Amino acid sequence: MAMFPTDPAAIIPERFKGLIFDCDGTLVDTMPLHFLAWKAAMQAVGITITEEQFYSFSGMPTVTIIQTLAKQQNVICDARTAAEEKERLFLENIESLEPIHSVIEIVHREKGRRKMAVASGGWKSVIHQSLAAVGLNAMFDVFVGADDVAHGKPAPDIFLKAAERLNLKPEECLVYEDGNLGIEAAVAAGMQVIDVRPWYLPRR
């Protein structure tokens, strides 16, 4: 589904007026910390989550993941409360986050040349704190989180909202993603997308 060369140094065609980045696993290597937080928060409510399941859910809103797992495992819990606990546990260790340098180089290179947005399945407050931990908050014009849309990835809503706030048409936006659900969402939004996973080795 990635439509462009996998070299992060490749020149971006001029027709793309805006760049839209996922956050977790695209801009910041948050996934190991998220998984540890997921395991602890889910254990507290009697839900199990494997690393394979965790990565397969990449991009899906936290509450939706919990609702899905609870249904599969016949567990009754307050998904919103469990999601809040998961985010609290994640934020406890946020200072140990690492940026994904190959993608960050694109952000620095394109700052001031094109409009840029972050569109993530996470809550916007957590997105801001994650990016602040690696000094990136000021680099973006627009932030869209799970709390801004009715339907998370793989629905296209989050990317369409980002384009709308950038005042651009979907076809004028290029998306950077690391999750299959996010790639599906970008394609559904009528945008071209680059899968950043070949550019780095996520910590596990």
Per-residue b or e along 57-90, where b marks 16 or more CB atoms closer than 10 Å to that residue's CB: bbbbbbbbbbbebbeeeeeebebeebbebbbebb
Return the bridge partners of 115, or none: 18
Whether the link from the prior residue into 154 is cis, omega within 30° of 0, is yes
Q: Which residue in 22, 29, 178, 195 is the catalytic one? A: 22
- Is 24 catalytic? The answer is no
d(CA 184, CA 172) in angstroms, rounded, equals: 17
Give the burial class of 135: count Cβ atoms within 10 A of its Cβ; 0-12 exposed, 13-18 middle, 19 or more buried.
exposed
Does an H or E element contain 80, and which?
helix 79-92
Give the burial class of 137: count Cβ atoms within 10 A of its Cβ; 0-12 exposed, 13-18 middle, 19 or more buried.
middle
- The residues carrying an active-site annotation are 22
